[in-house]
């Protein structure tokens, strides 16, 4: 199979490396200098420095449309902010290959008063003619690139897209499960980033393992409430893209969103933290949209609201925790 991966960040590079052992894979980098360095050094020093690139992996730069012309699968591995442009260009080019994306989060609203959209909502709006889907689940790029065991979800209402993703990436080390609930899969991938910031804050303040367990569990309830209100199935949130991805992102120190919470607990400013990370932490950009979409649907998300207030400087770390703990008693379900 000929696969085009658009975006040479950590996750795009990792998936391209994993697939290049069985398929013809082209990794399309936005920056020509970055692409030439990867070709020269046979490693992505900027985003995945510990993993050598296979000789079979084709690294290039250039225009998306001609690069995708003979691909049998296009995988968009840009941050969420870049998904709109890539989908629009592929739609204008009338791409025939299935298109899937890896980014997790809500798009930042394009204008005041508009709603930030999930990937599948963007696809329905901008590219209804394309066959599209999403690849998500609990996965750190470094571990996938090194061939460590990982399980992901390929989600789309189009069964042929799901099967194409399975054929492309399913191996002994990378197990893929199919789903037609791409709403639930995307909500899980977006909200877990916000909850990981909260969990990092909890751990940074050394509130204990009891607090961490409570935060993850109640966060999962928030995630499911929003997802069901958007049309997802409840059971999706007990799977890889819900509970699985939440646990990994909230507790694994490779998580950039968790690192944001940990550093906020030390009193560092948000701009300082973002600069020091050097990578996108999608939860920072999605948190406000998560709360905005929840408010519009009448969905209560107190943990996510506290994260937004913290990011906006309306609450200190200690105040955010106190606000959550002082809420009125309620039934668990």
**95-98 long-range Cβ contacts below 8 angstroms, 24+ apart:** 95/68, 95/130, 97/4, 97/68, 97/71, 97/72, 97/73, 97/131, 98/73, 98/74, 98/131, 98/132, 98/133, 98/158, 98/160, 98/161, 98/164, 98/165
Q: Tell me which H or E stretch contains 138.
A: none
Q: For residues 96 and 287, give the distance between their C-alpha atoms in angstroms, rounded to a whole number.
A: 34
Dihedral of the CA atoms 33, 36, 37, 39 (nearest 10)? 160
Q: For residues 137 and 324, give the distance between their C-alpha atoms in angstroms, rounded to a whole number.
A: 28
Structure tokens at 132: 């599209």
Q: For 205-266, where are the alpha helices, taking DSSP H only?
A: 209-229, 245-251, 256-264
The answer to whether 192 is a known catalytic residue is yes
Q: How many residues does the chain have?
A: 333
Q: For residues 299 and 246, give the distance between their C-alpha atoms in angstroms, rounded to a whole number.
A: 19
How deeply is 197 buried, as exposed, middle or buried, from its count of CB atoms within 10 A (0-12, 13-18, 19+)?
buried
The residue annotated as part of the active site, out of 45, 94, 108, 192, is 192
Inter-residue contact 105 to 282 (CB < 8 Å):
yes
Q: Return the active site residues.
A: 192
């Amino acid at each position: 199979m000929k696969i085009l991966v658009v975006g040479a960040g950590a996750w795009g590079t990792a998936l391209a490396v994993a697939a290049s052992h069985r398929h013809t894979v082209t990794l399309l980098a936005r920056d020509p200098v970055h692409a030439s360095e990867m070709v020269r050094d046979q490693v992505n020093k900027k985003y995945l420095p510990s993993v050598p690139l296979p000789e079979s992996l084709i690294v290039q730069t250039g225009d998306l449309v001609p690069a995708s012309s003979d691909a049998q699968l296009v995988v968009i591995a840009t941050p969420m902010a870049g998904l709109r442009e890539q989908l629009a260009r592929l739609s204008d080019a009338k791409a025939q290959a299935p298109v899937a994306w890896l980014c997790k989060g809500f798009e930042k609203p394009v204008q005041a008063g508009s709603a930030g959209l999930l990937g599948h909502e963007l696809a329905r709006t901008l590219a209804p003619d394309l066959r599209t889907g999403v690849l998500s689940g609990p996965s750190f790029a470094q571990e996938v690139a090194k061939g460590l065991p990982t399980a992901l979800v390929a989600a789309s209402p189009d069964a042929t897209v799901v099967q194409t993703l399975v054929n492309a990436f399913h191996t002994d080390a990378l197990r893929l499960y199919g789903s037609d609930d791409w709403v639930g899969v995307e909500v899980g991938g977006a909200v877990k980033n916000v909850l990981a910031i909260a969990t990092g804050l909890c751990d940074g303040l050394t509130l204990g393992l009891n607090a961490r367990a409570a935060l993850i569990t109640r966060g999962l309830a928030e995630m499911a409430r929003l997802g069901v209100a958007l049309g997802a199935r409840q059971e999706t949130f007990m799977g890889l893209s819900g509970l699985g991805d939440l646990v990994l992102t909230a507790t694994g120190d490779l998580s950039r969103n968790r690192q944001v919470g940990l550093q906020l607990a030390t009193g560092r400013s948000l701009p300082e933290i973002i600069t020091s990370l050097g990578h996108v932490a999608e939860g920072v950009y999605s948190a406000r949209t998560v709360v905005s979409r929840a408010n519009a649907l009448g969905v209560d998300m107190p943990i996510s609201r506290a994260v937004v207030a913290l990011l906006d400087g309306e609450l200190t770390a200690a105040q955010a925790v106190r606000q959550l703990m002082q809420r009125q008693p309620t039934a668990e379900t």
